[in-house]
Amino acid sequence: MQIFFQTLVGGLSLGAVYALVAMGFSLVYRTMGLVNFAHGNVVMIGAYVASTFYLTVTLPFIPAMLIALAVTGAIGLVIERVLRPLENKDFTLMLIGTIGFGIVLEALATLIWGATGRAVRNPVQAAPVELLGLRIRTYDLVVLAVAAAATVALVLFLQRTKRGAAMQAVAMNHEAATAVGIHVGRSNAVAFGIGASLAALAGSLAGPLLYVSPTMGGTLGIHGFAAMAIGGFGSIPGAIVGGLSIGVLGSYSAGHFEGYSELVTFLVFTVAIMIRPTGIFGETTVNRA
Amino acid sequence: MHRQRALAAAALAASMTAAACGAPGDDKGDSDSGSGPIKLAVVNAQSGQLSSLGAWELKGAKLAVSEWNKRGGIDGRKISLKVFDDQGDPTVGTNLARKVDSQGYIAMIGTAESAVTLAMAPVLRQAEIPNITSGQAPAMPELGSPFLFLNGPTSDTYDETLAKYLVDTKGMKKIAMVTNNGSFGKGEHDAFMAALTKRGVKPLTDQVVTTEQKDFSAALSKIRAAKPDVIFLGAEEVESGLIVKQARDLGIKEPFAGAAPQGTPVFAKTAGTENAGGTIVSTPYLSNESSPAAEKFAAAYEAAFDEEAELHGAKAYDGTNIVLTALKNSKVATGAKLAEAIRDTKYQGLLGDFAFDKTGVGIFKTDIGQIKDGKLVAID
């Protein structure tokens, strides 16, 4: 029983990171109907920027993270600006464009930081919390808290602010939104920017949990994408549920199927998608693709 | 005007295509001809999670080649070294094996990953290109390729020495195991298990993880519940570091024990210097101070690359020296003759005295060390 809960706890923190990655995917998807395939690589850039300011410039962890958020937010804006002429013209080219950006970002990271990668030391030195024989890493709690705060902030932004409402409107019907005077391009830019900042948040939190290297975006991107698919394309609650599910699922299949865990995780994922192709919170109205 | 621009664009496109087509086929020189530089290939990961290994390997090989070139090369011919990046990926490796063949390299140094070496071996065997690898999986000598050589001991040697120390010397009987399912981890698992079985010890728990895994709480919780004296760890540098880091977070205080990867600075850095302390390591190259030859090598390595030497650089240095010695002894033979010459080469290296058997293994001894303050030291 103790192992059961310990496994659950272990899966949750990585699940929270997947949820943040999935939220970034979802936000762009719901606004533009586009899967940003560079998203995983933006996560990686975020992890590198945060770890550079944390380890090399020796800033505290939180400011380092905020700088990473700003840097990747800007990268998101650039990607959107470059792809904007294709919006509503050639969707396939836009998709390929995001893949291209992903490759460029990975190559850039190799140029700047080298191919080897680096380990990031744990920013929270406090001893693990003991609870009913379970040991919960303090850093896991930080990850969960930051992810929860980011989710609340995002939902508030989407529901309570004018800009957020405009983005929702674009998501529902971009032609009608244009007709009532909403700048669709700007709305898309904001979606891309926030999505990329969420990626940086995921990346900088993942740094001390994992190992920062130019290829880390691949694994995180695929898990985040799977999380979005399982939760429902474009759904924010879906991204959270999906992310945590993929994290916990991975953790349990690692416990039971050991060497075959990845296989089992994605088999379960495939079955889930076959049973419910729209995902848990699938919003078909958002589907513009 | 428009037309002109289109023409210019077409011309540009055509010239680019021509350049692109020209690039891969360059360098079709044949070094069997007996003149020009002697071409050696280094195939190793220069990118990806395993690239630190590849970087060390390349430095070791470069150092050996530059020393030989300074002495005037072999038979008056210079030695040239070209590096290929296998990204630690067996598929990339097999493609590179064909490239190494088609571009006329006469021997190959690398790779540092058993999985990649295993994938490349059949192509290199067919092409009759001798290959000296830094991998240590027992599956490699089992292939029985006359063209495949190891520049260090296999997992069998590492883990027999380790089990002997843990069980026979220290009397530790409560042992937990965690290994990954890659070629290296599988080799470590089987070798250590065999060494334990020989001593009538059964591990308390035997956890297998994947090479891509990042969260080890399930495996580590089971290990923690089993209350072992020591945990055997069979995974590459970065993954080993992550496992130890997470184990300490979960409150596991027992020492880890393992082979080559746990002796590297990358392992200690990934785990955190404090977490890595006390790790018991079976290694053929304890430190840069272990012999006068090692001291000389370490000084030259540091002068050339401004970095402290370690096991993998030393292994590649030995391996490259063996190939070059064989080339000298055989008056630059190629193919099967060169493989024979390598097998006949007796070489006193940094890792010990090499004498190859028919499976391509040349060294059968390791020592036990321990990590203190992030550095490997001989055990007291």
Looking at chain B, which residue has its C-alpha nearest residue A12? B215
Q: For chain A, which residues make up each domain, given as ranges? A: 2-286
Q: For chain A, positions 198-257, list CB contacts with chain B under 8 A.
A: 209-211, 213-215, 219, 247, 250-252, 254-256
Q: Do B48 and A6 touch (CB under 8 A)?
A: no
SS (H, E, C) chain A: CHHHHHHHHHHHHHHHHHHHHHHHHHHHHHHHCCCCCCHHHHHHHHHHHHHHHHHHCCCCHHHHHHHHHHHHHHHHHHHHHHHHHHCCCCHHHHHHHHHHHHHHHHHHHHHHHCCCCECCCCCCCCCCEEECCEEECHHHHHHHHHHHHHHHHHHHHHHHCHHHHHHHHHHHCHHHHHHCCCCHHHHHHHHHHHHHHHHHHHHHHHHHHCCECCCHHHHHHHHHHHHHHHHCCCCHHHHHHHHHHHHHHHHHHHHHHHHHHHHHHHHHHHHHHHHCCCCCCCCHHHCCC
Does the distance separating the beta carbons of B250 and A135 come in below 8 Å?
yes
Residue of B207, B214, B225 with shortest CB distance to A2: B225
Structural domains of chain B ordered from first start: 31-153+290-365 (3.40.50.2300), 156-283 (3.40.50.2300)
Residue A26, min C-alpha distance to chain B (Å)? 24
Q: Per the CB < 8 Å rule, is B214 touching A128?
A: no
Q: Which residue has the higher pLDDT, A212 or A115?
A: A212
Of B49, B213, B271, the CB nearest to A261: B213
Question: Which residue from B minimizes the CA distance to A114?
Answer: B47
- A135 to chain B, any CB pair closer than 8 A? The answer is yes
Contacts of B51 in chain A (CB under 8 A): 115-117
| Average pLDDT estimate for A134-156 | 90
Chain A to chain B, count of Cβ pairs less than 8 Å apart?
109
Interface test with B, best of A5, A6, A216 (most B CBs within 10 A): A6
Give yes or no for residue A185 having a pLDDT over 50. yes
Q: Does A15 touch chain B (CB under 8 A)?
A: no
User: What are the CA-CA distances from residue A246 to residues A13, A79, A226 (Å)?
Assistant: 11, 28, 8
Check if A141 contacts B (Cβ < 8 Å): no
A6 contacts B219 by C-beta, under 8 angstroms: no
The per-residue pLDDT for A34 is: 85
Distance from CA of B267 to the nearest CA of A (A): 9
* Model confidence band, residue A283 (pLDDT cutoffs 50, 70, 90): low
Contacts of A7 in chain B (CB under 8 A): 217-218, 221
Taking residues A37-46, what's their average pLDDT?
A: 94
pLDDT at A229: 92
Question: Using a CB-CB distance cutoff of 8 angstroms, which residues of chain B are in contact with residue A210?
Answer: 214, 242
Cβ pair B249, B274 in contact under 8 A: no
- Measured between CA atoms, the residue of chain A closest to residue B206 is A258
**Are A262 and B212 inside 8 Å of each other by CB?**
yes
Phi, psi of A166 (to 5 degrees): -60, -40
Contact flag B219-A254 (C-beta cutoff 8 Å): yes
Counting beta carbons within 10 angstroms of the beta carbon of residue A162, is it exposed (0 to 12), middle (13 to 18) or buried (19 or more)? Answer: exposed
Closest CA in chain B for residue A113: B47
First to last CA, chain A: 45
Q: Which residues of B touch A223 (CB under 8 A)?
A: none
Answer yes or no: are the C-beta atoms of B81 and B61 closer than 8 Å. yes
Amino acid B48: pLDDT:
73
Judge: A10–B218 Cβ closer than 8 Å, yes or no: yes
Q: When comparing pLDDT for A211 and B17, which is higher?
A: A211
Binned at pLDDT 50, 70 and 90, residue A10 comes out as: confident
How far lies B346's CA from each of A24, B6, B296, B323, B357, in Å? Answer: 60, 66, 20, 11, 11
pLDDT for position B17: 43
The residue to which tokens 């760890």 are assigned: B233
- B272 CB neighbours in chain A (<8 A) are 119, 121-122
Q: What string of pLDDT tens digits covers the 380 residues of chain B?
A: 444 554 444 444 444 444 444 444 344 444 454 678 999 999 999 887 778 889 999 999 999 999 999 999 998 899 999 999 998 889 999 999 999 999 999 999 989 888 899 999 999 999 999 999 998 888 899 998 999 999 999 999 999 999 999 999 989 999 999 999 888 899 899 999 999 999 999 999 999 998 888 888 888 988 998 999 999 999 988 899 999 998 988 888 899 999 888 988 889 888 888 899 899 999 998 888 888 999 999 999 999 999 888 889 999 999 999 999 999 999 989 999 999 999 999 999 999 899 999 999 999 989 999 998 888 888 86
Q: How far does Cα A267 stand from its chain's mean position? A: 22
Q: Which chain B residue lies closest to A131 (C-alpha atoms)?
A: B250
The span from the CA of B107 to the CA of B74, in Å, is 14
Query: For strand B175-180 and strand B205-209, is the pairing parallel, antiparallel, or unpaired?
Result: parallel
Structure tokens at A256: 């039971």
Nearest CA in chain B to A11: B215
Contacts of A215 in chain B (CB under 8 A): 47-49
According to CATH, what is the number of the domain A2-286? 1.10.3470
Q: Which of B209, B214, B236 to mutate to test the interface with A (most CBs of A within 10 A)?
A: B214
For B325, other C-beta atoms within 10 Å of its C-beta total 19
Q: Which residues pair with B74 in a beta bridge?
A: B77
The chain B residues in contact with chain A (CB within 8 A) are: 46-49, 51-52, 55, 180-181, 207-210, 212-219, 221-222, 225, 238, 241-242, 245, 249-251, 269-272
Q: How many residues comprise chain B?
A: 380
Please answer yes or no on whether A119 and B46 come within 8 Å at the CB atom: no
Interface pTM, i.e. ipTM: 0.78
Show the tokens assigned to B126: 């067919």
Q: Nearest by CB to A3, which of B181, B210, B225?
A: B225
Write the pLDDT tens digit of every residue in A256-265.
887 788 889 8
**Which pLDDT tens digit goes with each residue over A21-34?**
999 999 998 888 88
Q: Is A6 on the interface with B (CB under 8 A)?
A: yes
